[in-house]
Amino acid sequence: MLPAASAGPTSRLLLVLALLALLVSGPTSAQPTQKSACFDAGTLSPALQARSEALLLDALDSEHLYTLATGLKPMSAGFFGAQVAMSAPDMAAEQAQRVLDDHADADLSRLDATARTDLETARAVQARIAALQEIEDVRTILATWRCGGQIHADLVHYANARGGERTLHAVVFALPSVRRLMVDKAPFFSRWGFTASTSPVEIVNTIEYSRDATRFAGYGYLFGYPDDAVHFFATAATSQDVTGTFVVRDFRAIPTFQRDTGQFTYAVAKGADETAADGALKARAARILGAYKARRAQYIGEGKPGAAALVRDWFCPSDDHCDPSAAAL
């Protein structure tokens, strides 16, 4: 028997081409792009996807629009809030469920004091579990609110508790604006060692726990108020703390889709004339709101693409480039 002939260069080339053809014709998975990753809720359950859409629309319809689109406001807060009891009831979750099951149809008036106490405790346990689950769900949603490395959303809590409950609220940050603020207002923010790379959540938590006028000034800058308004905000708070007398004031209101007043609003000295900074802020906000209203009519409503699609198409001029700070106006 003659030995098999070894494969020559031509045979090897044909084999390589055949393998390449198989690779090209075989199944492929689409690679994510900047645009597809912008506010991508694909990892969420259907229920959380629907909740994300509702929360995002509420944010866009309020002052959060001015943070999400162009970063006019470095930070906005308040489109979601939750409360959780500060002290955990002295009952395990499994025991609480058994108590609730045992007393599902019970007549409370016929229960003895111990049974009523157990039932009240079990209900408190159930309410706490439900509150924490909602908080976890919203955190999971907000973790998908990212676009082009420029947007961050999260939950933070207030330092002061009321009625034995701690309040948390949702915040959204325009990262380029926050970084620029840390540089432009370094004489103020550097007292905490903040620089352009500081986490926005660290910044807001530090401001929240400040116990003097710096808390009001810090929030004023983060919320995008003009310098004169920030100064008034801080000095009026200090004056009220010292004298106990409320400092009368006027308000400047920037309209949102939801309403003309009461959202993007800041205080100024009583009778103060509108400044150039006030006028410039109002004019820029009006352009952003006008651009949003035009897009909202196309994207929001039955059978239309929705809020996430709106921001994705608005902030991403191409599949490989998303720039919320340069959203077209």
- Domain spans of the chain, in order of start: 37-312
Residue 262: strand, helix, or coil: coil
What pLDDT shows up at residue 177? 99
End-to-end distance of the chain based on CA atoms, in angstroms? Answer: 81
User: What is the C-alpha separation between 160 and 173, in angstroms, rounded?
Assistant: 22
Tokens of 39: 């506010």
Q: Say if residues 210 and 193 touch (Cβ distance below 8 Å).
A: no
Judge contact between 291 and 72, C-beta under 8 A.
Answer: no
Distance CA 189, CA 217 (A): 10
Beta-carbon neighbour count of residue 223 at 10 Å?
A: 21
Query: pLDDT tens across 12-34, in order?
Result: 555 545 544 444 444 444 567 89
Beta strands 264-269 and 249-254 are antiparallel
Helices and strands (H, E) in the chain, number of each type: 13, 5
Structural tokens at position 230: 């920030």
3-state secondary structure of 103: coil
Rg of the chain in Å (alpha carbons): 27
Sheet holding 165-174, edge to edge: 75-85, 165-174, 151-157
Q: Is 126 exposed, middle or buried (CB count within 10 Å of its CB: 0-12, 13-18, 19+)?
A: middle
Cα–Cα distance for residue pair 131/167, rounded to 1 Å: 11
CB atoms within 10 A of CB 65: 26
Which residue positions in the chain have pLDDT lower than 50? 1-6, 16, 19-29
Instruction: Provide the strand spans (E) within the chain.
Output: 75-85, 151-157, 165-174, 249-254, 264-269
> What residue has token string 């229920």?
47
Residue 85's closest CA among 121, 118, 131, 136?
131
Which helix (H) or strand (E) segment holds residue 88: the answer is none
Global pTM?
0.86
DSSP character string of 54-73? HHHHHHHHTTTHHHHSTTSS
